[in-house]
Amino acid sequence: MTVFARRARAAAGRMHPELSLVSYTLLGHLEEVGGCRATDLAAHYALDKSTVSRQVTALERAGLVERRPDPADQRVQVLHLTRAGRHILAQVTESRRAAFRERLADWPAEDLSRFAEYLVRYNAWPGPGREE
């Protein structure tokens, strides 16, 4: 698992120099949910608020994320992907998919199916202290 995590971090850096694995993950979540508060990101990923704040600040400086007032509560700032953020995310996502396709191209269908089942099972774990 350590090798897997190291490779994922290294791959994110190769795909876009401004995009760490954490940044890529945050951008993906913002796209998936259509925007959210930084505190929501911290809670979702069980990260410290200061960690998320640093990542968000870097993404804002890179022009990949912007803050907008929440229409329901003008005091709240909601993070959204910019056009550049959506573009970079799409590029990195396609690069990752191409890398996965290349790496798995020679695997027999049975192995791919088993691997997919294991990933689903692994990702379904709710975390420590949470019930499934």
pLDDT one-digit tens code per residue, 84-109: 999 998 988 888 889 889 999 999 99
- Residue for token digits 């971090």? 9
**Integer Cα distance of 109 and 68 in angstroms:** 46
The candidate with the shortest Cα–Cα distance to 32, out of 14, 20, 44, 21, is 44
Model pTM above 0.85:
no
Residues making up the chain, counted from first to last: 132
Would the pLDDT of 129 be above 70? no
Cα angle for residues 88, 91, 95 (degrees, 5° grid): 140
Lowest mean pLDDT among 33-37, 92-96, 111-115: 92-96
What pLDDT, on the 0 to 100 scale, is given for residue 102?
92
Residue 23 confidence (pLDDT): 86
Name the helix (H) or strand (E) containing 119: helix 109-123
User: Confidence band (pLDDT; 50, 70, 90) for 11?
Assistant: low
- 27-31: long-range pairs with CB below 8 Å, 24+: 27/59, 27/64, 27/65, 27/81, 27/85, 27/88, 27/89, 28/89, 28/93, 30/65, 30/79, 30/80, 30/81, 30/85, 31/81, 31/86, 31/89
* Residue 8 binned pLDDT confidence (cut-offs 50, 70, 90): low
User: Residue 123: what pLDDT?
Assistant: 86
Inform me whether the pLDDT recorded for 57 exceeds 90: yes
